[in-house]
Amino acid sequence: MFVNKMKAFFNGFGGDHGSEFRRILGTIGREVSRYAVPLKRDGGPKILYGPSFCIYSPCYAHDAVFSAALRARGAEIIPIYCDRVQHTECNYYGGVWGGGEKFSANCRRCCRTSENLWKEAGLMPLPFSRYLDGKEIRRIDDRVASLPDDGWRTFSWNGLAFGQWARDILVNNYVVGDYRLIREHERLGRAHLRNLLIVHAAYERILYDVRPDRVVTNDSYYGMWAIMQKLCERRGIPFYSHWSGTRPGAWCYARNDASMNLDYGRAWPSFSSIPLTDARRATVEEWLAGRLSGKDMLIDTASLATHCNEEANLSKIREGKPTALLAANVIWDLAALNKQVVFGDMIEWIAETIAWFGSHPEYQLIVKPHPGEQHPSIPETEERVGTALRQRGVAIPGNVAVLTPRSAITIYRLLPLASAGLVHTTTVGFEMSARGIPVITTARSPYRGFGFTLDPVTREDYFETIDRVLQGEKMPERERQVDLAYKFILFQHFHYYTKIGIMDYKWGETPRLNVGSLADILAGRNRHLDYIVDSVMAGFPIVSEDRWPAES
């Protein structure tokens, strides 16, 4: 049933967007084409744009409107796209995300969608194939074929970690953390490596030919866009990535980084020193209250949904006994990938934590898998916490309760039981901190080191910290912890995830556009959009020591 939902989901994003949706975007494209002609004389920046993740309707709308806003301010936009030069599967389609026997049809549809996006905007996109030749492709094919078994995974060339990028795409496509769980992972890994090398070759020639002043792309965590970021860094070209983030109607951006790396380190010292006003404190408190019912989430994984119908067995948990609450991530998700600090991976962290509590019966542990592991709106995770622990033969002690992702209890109902929170990178970490619970991090979360969590770097330090917190010996100063956690929530959800006014959208639905003509995106109409567009035009950072998006 769920696979059929996903097929319908992706088919709906394949270029068959609603007629009204495309009519409005087409109108804006035609208007800006006429408006931008006299602006070319002013010599605005030349901006290479793409490849767009336009199979996702919000990205289609964003790129149509955002590129128009740049053109309306004098930029020359040169779009690029992949015109079916990759095979088997790719960063767009593969595995449970429209791969397998559907890949060829989805690849054609993706190509057509990219062409439509830019042609309806009055632009002629540059196809990758124009910058590739048969000799280059054969050389890449031969190089990949010559690698030993598993050699694709560690392959690097010219200082670029192609093998790591190939692995990350693969585990995301098949919703696992361990690529070895994927059938035919050797063949698929090599295919991804080959495709990334093809993309790299096209990018090198495009950058040489176009010589852009700026580059704007989809979020650059994954290989297809990470390659472009690295090439721009080497050439000194300001590079901007973007994504829809996790706040409905909002978008996020970063310069010379993946926007979803959520790196606020440069701004945090200045921002965190600004006192919280009563009004801003109330904003955060309202947000925290709304989380209990899934408010302000693209996909509601917080409230007790009807599919969460399995018994939450807490019979092992004794009232009044020091209790740690371990909140897990979805293992294959970008938020958890390659973020390890204390342990080798998320499952190793959970397994060793369970073992430690087994040898410390004076404490107890509740393990709460992420509800996104088995949520009907996204593919079911293959490598779930429960299945991974069983595969590793982890024994569950009498003082440890391991729940299921469909347990009929939310994380928020468990918070009153928690003397401490244990996290990898989950957002629950800063929510627990904001509610006064001491939180111990084990991975590179966006909030690690920001002053309101305990951040061990070794196993010994981690387990010692748990011991001391549960004994009440090592505790953050509560008022300061809550104050900083509130400020983090304010920065991430109300500044970084900025409401630029282009659209409102819900997961799996065509966005509802809030703009109807070019006039709606001209300078002065929306200060949040202006900030981002003006930053790109000037080559400024989005977030720095002394500047960041205004609260929205």
Q: With helix as H, strand as E and coil as C, how does 289-353 read?
A: HHHCCCCCCCCCCCCCCCCCCECCCCCCCCCCCCEEEEECCCCCCCCCCCCECCCCCHHHHHHHH
In this structure, how many other beta carbons lie within 10 angstroms of the beta carbon of residue 88?
18
Residues whose CB falls within 8 Å of the CB of residue 403, separated by 6 or more in sequence, listed in order? 312, 313, 366, 367, 368, 369, 409
Residues whose CB falls within 8 Å of the CB of residue 24, separated by 6 or more in sequence, listed in order? 513, 515, 516
By CB atoms closer than 10 A (0-12, 13-18, 19+), residue 71 is buried
- Please check whether residue 426 is in contact with residue 329, taking contact to mean a CB–CB distance below 8 angstroms: yes
Query: Over the stretch 95-143, which tens digit does the pLDDT of each residue have?
Result: 999 999 999 999 999 999 999 999 999 999 999 999 999 999 999 999 9
∠ Cα 229 230 235 (to 5°): 95
Range of weakest confidence among 9-18, 59-68, 400-409: 9-18
pLDDT in the model for residue 76: 96
pLDDT in the model for residue 301: 65
Q: Go through the chain and tell me how many residues it has.
A: 552
Instruction: Return phi, psi of residue 124, to 5°.
Output: -110, 105
Provide the b/e sequence for 445-465 (b: ≥16 CB within 10 Å): bbbbebbbbbbbeeeeebbeb
Report the C-alpha gap between 192 and 209 in whole angstroms. 26
- Please check whether residue 50 is in contact with residue 79, taking contact to mean a CB–CB distance below 8 angstroms: yes
Report the C-alpha gap between 11 and 8 in whole angstroms. 5
Query: Over the stretch 347-398, which tens digit does the pLDDT of each residue have?
Result: 999 999 999 999 999 999 999 998 888 776 677 777 788 888 999 999 999 9
Q: For the residues 273-293, what does the mean pLDDT come to?
A: 94
In this structure, how many other beta carbons lie within 10 angstroms of the beta carbon of residue 249?
23
pLDDT at 459 over 90: yes
Band the pLDDT of 326: cuts 50, 70, 90. very high
* Domains of the chain and any CATH numbers: 2-251+499-538 (no CATH), 271-496 (3.40.50.2000)
Band the pLDDT of 15: cuts 50, 70, 90. very low
Task: Give the helix ranges, DSSP H, for 174-239.
Answer: 185-210, 223-235
pLDDT in the model for residue 474: 72
Bridge-partner residues for 443, per DSSP? 340
Nearest Cα neighbor of 457 from 344, 370, 357, 343 is: 343
Q: Percentage of residues in the chain with pLDDT exceeding 70?
A: 93
Q: What are the tokens at 437?
A: 């619970």
Amino acid identity of 70?
Answer: L
- Please check whether residue 346 is in contact with residue 354, taking contact to mean a CB–CB distance below 8 angstroms: no
Q: For the residues 15-34, what does the mean pLDDT come to?
A: 82
pLDDT in the model for residue 41: 52
Per the listing, tokens 């068959």 go with 16
CA 517 to chain centre: 30
Report the C-alpha gap between 542 and 254 in whole angstroms. 6
Band the pLDDT of 401: cuts 50, 70, 90. very high
Q: For the residues 82-94, what does the mean pLDDT come to?
A: 97
- Please check whether residue 359 is in contact with residue 320, taking contact to mean a CB–CB distance below 8 angstroms: no
pLDDT in the model for residue 6: 38
∠ Cα 145 177 150 (to 5°): 20
Whole-prediction pTM value? Answer: 0.92
Q: Percentage of residues in the chain with pLDDT exceeding 90?
A: 77
Q: How far is CA 204 from CA 85, 197, 208, 231, in A?
A: 15, 11, 6, 8
Angle between helices 223-235 and 185-210 in degrees, nearest 10:
40
